[in-house]
Amino acid sequence: MQSLAQRLEHLKSHSARLAGSDLRQLIAADAGRAERMSLRVDGLFVSFARQHVDAEAVQALLSVAQASGMAAAIPSLLNGAQVNRSEGRPALHSALRTVFDSPVASAAAAEAKAARDRMAAMTQQLRASGVTDIINVGIGGSDLGPRLALDALKDFSDGRFRIHFLSNVDAHSAERLLSELEPSRTAAILVSKSFGTQETLLNGALIREWLGGGERLYAVSANVPKAEAFGIAPERVLPMWDWVGGRYSLWSAVGFSVMLALGEQGFAEMLAGAEQIDRHFMEAAPEQNLPLMHALMAVWNRNAEGHSAQAVLPYDERLRLLPAYLQQLVMESLGKRVSHEGAAIEHDTVPVIWGGAGTDSQHSFFQALHQGTQVVPADFIGVIQPDHRHAEQHRVLLSHLLAQTEALANGDVGATPQQHSPGGRPTTLILLDKLSPKTFGALVALYEHSVYAQSVIWGINAFDQFGVELGKQLASKLLPVLQGAAQADDPVSAALVREINARS
Ligand code: F6P
């Protein structure tokens, strides 16, 4: 039996085989490629036609997936097996939106439903109150999901509440926000799975003081006693569970602000979109399986072609926060260097994820995508039907989206070396028929499951994040140094603290 390293090495032999044929040749030599290399799941269409693969390479990738045990790994995730092995627990974000009938998954789904019912009742109460502004206080997974969803789906809100986000411990952020708000008309939701995150607790304390007490404070946490100890009444604390990772938690009460904006129905539609992808991920054959195929292209680009970055380029202003959201989802999940068993792994894992909204990004960093020495594969994301009346302007936007993917693939000889664009730069195109709560939910779930499938192939845990702990521990040691109450262990930090304190 081949080892994982050997299987990934084998992919490199396909990459070497294809090295002489650039994308343009692959496309020209393969009639029907555009149709064959695309998948649709309801309102979501994805084209892989401009990835640097041929049918044989796709077969090799599918064999890698099969050898990794993907057929069992997908139901393991969705049925609630302990896929987060280092922490000994399942990763059941799918149970927040889909009832799969294993005992573990259906018990989790029942808890999720009860929490959603409470959240709906609290939404009604808040709507009936005089509150006009809501502050979501949280960071990382307790911030990025609702922030993205609300920015993307603003048009689906009736505007009953203005929703604000406070994440950074930099108090400039709080000062700026609070200067615009009136305490008597504001409520705050402290969102923290652990209720131990320093940034959130400090911002929460600042808000509590500004509000004049805990009366309009709400919390979402897996640590209910700590939330109550903070001064939040139990009837205003919504639960979370250790079986939902922070970066996968948008669908839980972490999305309270999303329900406040979209209403119970809009929130349910977002969950329904994700449910479609959960069921598709569970049931579709490998070569038809959208999250799996998306993951296989990521593996191809990383391990066979050796690309160390991946761009995310939403051609829709409403999805401009998607790159930031995916940075946490993908990089916190896949930024790992040991196997489940703790053995050092011999292959590359996560690329750097970055990006920005088109067309603005075209006028900033696209030069490097077209002519830089490093090839950066990119996901382009577009929406076919806009929600505005300016049809012609929307066609202009889509013309740019199509033009960029074509230019990156095909390049241009140019009259001078400076004008030469080499082409051969792979892209995936994701098209949403419309941006709605449902297609939005499907899009995010597509990425979640793609991340999981990548982790299965790479033999790593997508659900822990021990790498973020060391910095937190050192910050707690350096705070007393800045306060003048302790000495720094590290000589460079000691000198830097002297510099800072001399000028404070
Ligand atoms: O930065 C690490 C992290 O643990 C993320 O994984 C998480 O989403 C974020 O902090 C916030 O954690 P919590 O919800 O517990 O405050």
Which residue, chain included where needed, has tokens 């923290």? Answer: 192
Instruction: Please check whether residue 269 is in contact with residue 436, taking contact to mean a CB–CB distance below 8 angstroms.
Output: yes
> Could you tell me which residues are beta bridge partners of residue 432?
44, 383
Pick from 194, 201, 203 the residue to mutate for probing ligand 1's pocket: most ligand atoms within 8 Å of its CB. 194
* Residue of 231, 156, 49 whose CA lies nearest to 441: 156
Closest ligand 1 atom to Cα of 142: 14
Closest ligand 1 atom to Cα of 254: 14
Strands 44-47 and 427-434: antiparallel
Closest ligand 1 atom to Cα of 240: 14
Residue 379 has which token pair? 């996901």
Closest ligand 1 atom to Cα of 199: 16
Pick from 87, 136, 137, 139 the residue to mutate for probing ligand 1's pocket: most ligand atoms within 8 Å of its CB. 139
* CA of 393 relative to ligand 1 center, distance in Å: 40
> Could you tell me which residues are beta bridge partners of residue 38?
47
pLDDT beneath 70, residues of the chain: 1
Q: Is 89 helix (H, G, I), strand (E, B) or coil?
A: strand
Supply the angle between the helices 290-299 and 55-67 in degrees, to the nearest 10: 100
Q: Is 135 helix (H, G, I), strand (E, B) or coil?
A: strand
Dist. CA 487–CA 466, nearest whole Å: 26
* CA of 344 relative to ligand 1 center, distance in Å: 25
Q: What is the pLDDT of residue 83?
A: 98
Q: What is the pLDDT of residue 22?
A: 87
* Residue of 449, 332, 397, 459 whose CA lies nearest to 46: 449
Instruction: Please check whether residue 185 is in contact with residue 153, taking contact to mean a CB–CB distance below 8 angstroms.
Output: no
Closest ligand 1 atom to Cα of 194: 15
Biggest alpha carbon–alpha carbon distance for the chain:
72
Q: What is the pLDDT of residue 20?
A: 87
Pick from 240, 336, 468 the residue to mutate for probing ligand 1's pocket: most ligand atoms within 8 Å of its CB. 468
* CA of 306 relative to ligand 1 center, distance in Å: 30
Closest ligand 1 atom to Cα of 465: 6
Residues in the ligand 1 pocket, defined by CB under 6 Å = 139-142, 192-194, 197, 200, 246-247, 332, 465, 468
Burial of 347 (0-12, 13-18, 19+ CB in 10 A): middle
Measured CA distances, 80 to 207, 323, 332, 345 (Å): 37, 28, 21, 26
Q: What is the pLDDT of residue 424?
A: 94
Give 103-125 pLDDT, tens digit per residue. 999 999 999 999 999 999 999 99
Q: Which positions are catalytic?
A: 332, 363, 472
Closest ligand 1 atom to Cα of 246: 8
Q: What is the pLDDT of residue 366?
A: 97
The alpha carbon of 283 is separated from its chain's Cα centroid by a whole number of angstroms, namely 23
Dist. CA 488–CA 503, nearest whole Å: 18
Residue nearest to atom 8 of ligand 1 (CA): 141
Residue nearest to atom 10 of ligand 1 (CA): 140
Residue type, 172: H
Residue type, 18: L
Pick from 86, 197, 244 the residue to mutate for probing ligand 1's pocket: most ligand atoms within 8 Å of its CB. 197
* CA of 447 relative to ligand 1 center, distance in Å: 19
Q: What is the pLDDT of residue 21?
A: 87
Dist. CA 179–CA 439, nearest whole Å: 36
* CA of 464 relative to ligand 1 center, distance in Å: 11
Instruction: Please check whether residue 310 is in contact with residue 298, taking contact to mean a CB–CB distance below 8 angstroms.
Output: yes
* CA of 454 relative to ligand 1 center, distance in Å: 22
Q: What is the pLDDT of residue 290?
A: 98
* CA of 254 relative to ligand 1 center, distance in Å: 12
* CA of 277 relative to ligand 1 center, distance in Å: 25
Residue type, 487: Q
Q: What is the pLDDT of residue 5?
A: 87
Give 426-447 pLDDT, tens digit per residue. 999 999 999 999 999 999 999 9
